[in-house]
Amino acid sequence: MEGIRISSQQRDGFVVVVVRGELDIVTSRRFDEFLIEVRRDADHIIVDLSAVDFMDTGSLAVIVGHWKQVTAAGGTLALAGARYRYTKTLWITGLADRLPLYESVDAAVAAGRPGTGGAAAASQS
Amino acid sequence: MQQSPRGQGAGSEIAGLKARYGALRQAAALPGADPAPLLEAALAELDAAVAALVPNGDADSRGDAGQGSSAAAHAERRLLHAVFQQAPVPLFLIGGDGTVRRVNAAASDLLGSGPGYATGKAFTAFIDLPSRPAAATHLAAAARKGETRQFRCGLLTATGAVEHALAVHPVSTQGNAAHLVVAVTSAEAARTGRRGKQRAEPGAEVVQAMTRRLDLVMAATRILLENITYSEPVALQRYARLLARELAAWVIVDVEGDGQRLRRQHVSGPEGQRAEKLANAVAAVDPVPESGPYQVHESGSTLLIAHAEDPAALGDGPDGVPLLMLLGATSVLSVPLTDGEHAYGVLTLARWTGHPHFEIADVGLVEELGEQLALAIRVDRMFRRRVDIADALQTSLLPRQVRQIPGTKIAGTHVAATTAAEASGDFYDVYPSRDGWGIAIGDVCGKGPDTAAVTAAARHAIRALAHLDSDPTAVLRGINDIMLTEDFGGRFVTAHAGHLSWREGRLHLSLASAGHPGPVLLRPDGRTQMLNGGGLPLGIFPDAEPATQEVDLEPGDVVFLYTDGLTSACGPDLVQFEERLTDELAALASKEPEALVTRVRDVVLELCRGELRDEMTMLALRVGEPD
Q: Find the range with the poorest average confidence among B119-133, B327-341, B530-544.
A: B119-133
What is the enclosing helix (H) or strand (E) of B145? helix B132-145
Q: What is the mean pLDDT of residues B544-562?
A: 95
Whether the predicted pLDDT of B346 surpasses 90: yes
B205 in any annotated domain: no
Of B490, B516, B568, the CB nearest to A61: B490
> Is residue A87 in a domain?
yes
Task: Tell me which chain B residues have a C-beta less than 8 angstroms from the C-beta of A98.
Answer: 536, 540-541
Residues B140, B214 contacting (CB under 8 angstroms): no
Chains A, B: CB pairs < 8 Å: 93
Number of compact structural domains in chain A: 1
Judged by average pLDDT, the poorest of A57-61, B28-32, B51-55, B170-174 is: B51-55
C-alpha distance from A109 to closest chain B C-alpha (Å): 25
Could you tell me if residue B273 is inside a domain?
Answer: yes
The pairing of strands A76-80 and A44-55 is parallel
Considering CB atoms only, which of A60, A66, A122 is closest to B445? A60
**Mean of pLDDT values over A57-77:** 94
B611: chain A residues, CB-CB within 8 Å: 1
Q: Is there a domain that residue A117 lies in? A: no
Instruction: For an interface test with B, give the residue of A35, A85, A93 to mutate (most B CBs within 10 A).
Output: A93
Q: Is B517 exposed, middle or buried (0-12, 13-18, 19+ CB in 10 A)?
A: buried
The whole-angstrom separation of Cα B70 and Cα B314 is: 53
Question: Among residues B433, B122, B537, which one has the least CA distance to residue B305?
Answer: B122
Q: Determine the pLDDT at residue B51.
A: 65
Residue B195 clears pLDDT 60, i.e. is over it: no
What's chain B's average pLDDT?
A: 82
| A116–chain B Cβ distance below 8 A for any pair | no
Chain-chain contact of A56 with B420 (C-beta, under 8 angstroms):
no
Q: How confident is the model at residue B115 (pLDDT cuts 50, 70, 90)?
A: low
- Mean pLDDT value across residues B376-400: 75
Whether the CB of A25 is below 8 Å from some CB of chain B: the reply is: yes
Question: Is residue B157 in a domain?
Answer: yes
Which residues of B touch chain A, with CB atoms under 8 Å apart? 417, 419-420, 422, 425, 443, 445-447, 484-485, 487, 489-492, 494, 515-517, 533-537, 540-543, 564, 568, 574, 578, 611, 613-614
Check CB contact under 8 Å for A57 and B543: no
Is residue B204 assigned to a domain?
Answer: no
Do B570 and B544 lie in one domain? The reply is yes
Whether residues B381 and B434 fall in one domain: no
Of A26, A89, A120, the CB nearest to B419: A26
CATH, residue B358: 3.30.450.40
> Does residue B432 surpass a pLDDT of 70?
yes
Nearest-CA distance B459 → chain A (Å): 18
A107 CB within 8 Å of a chain B CB: no
> Are the C-beta atoms of B551 and B531 separated by less than 8 Å?
yes
Q: Is the pLDDT of residue B612 over 50?
A: yes
Residues B356 and B406 in one domain: no
Global ipTM = 0.86
pLDDT at B175: 57
Tell me, what's the pLDDT at A95?
95
Q: Which is it for strands A44-55 and A14-23: parallel, antiparallel or unpaired?
A: parallel
Residue A20 lies in a domain: yes
Among B353, B385, B417, which residue terminates a domain? B385
- Do both B405 and B377 map to the same domain? no
Specify the number of domains making up chain B: 3
Helix axes B35-53, B66-86, angle to 10 degrees: 160
Give the end of a domain, one of B332, B357, B385.
B385
The pLDDT of residue A114 is 45
Please, what sign has the CA dihedral across residues B214, B218, B223, B227? positive
In a domain, residue B203? The reply is no
Q: Do B474 and B592 fall into the same domain?
A: yes
Q: What is the mean pLDDT of residues B303-318?
A: 85
Q: Is residue B305 part of a domain?
A: yes
Q: Which amino acid is at A76?
A: T
Judge whether residue B489 has pLDDT over 80: no
C-alpha span between A107 and A101 (Å, rounded) = 10
Chain A CB contacts of B578 below 8 Å = 88
Instruction: Report the C-alpha gap between B307 and B331 in whole angstroms.
Output: 5
CATH number, domain with residue A45: 3.30.750.24
CB nearest to A94's CB, from B420, B484, B535: B535
Report if residue B1 sits inside a domain. no
Listing DSSP states for B66-120 in one string gives: HHHHHHHHHHHHHHHHHHHHH-SS-EEEE-TTSBEEEE-HHHHHHHTS-TTSSTT
- When mean pLDDT is compared across A54-68, B197-211, B252-266, B338-352, the lowest value belongs to B197-211
- The least confident of B56-70, B254-268, B273-287 is B56-70
**What are phi and psi for residue B287, nearest 5 degrees?**
-65, 135
Which residues constitute the domain of residue B454?
Answer: 398-623
Contact check, Cβ <8 Å, B543/A120: yes
pLDDT surpasses 70 at B144: yes
CATH code (residue B118): 3.30.450.20
Q: Phi then psi for B284, rounded to 5 degrees?
A: -80, -10
Residue from A1, A24, A27, A57 to probe the interface with B (highest B Cβ count within 10 Å)? A57
Instruction: Please check whether residue B587 lies inside any domain of the structure.
Output: yes
Residue A59 falls within a domain, yes or no? yes
CB of A93 within 8 Å of a chain B CB? The answer is yes
For residue A56, what are the contacts with CB-CB under 8 A and spacing of at least 6?
A23, A24, A25, A28, A89, B564, B568, B613, B614
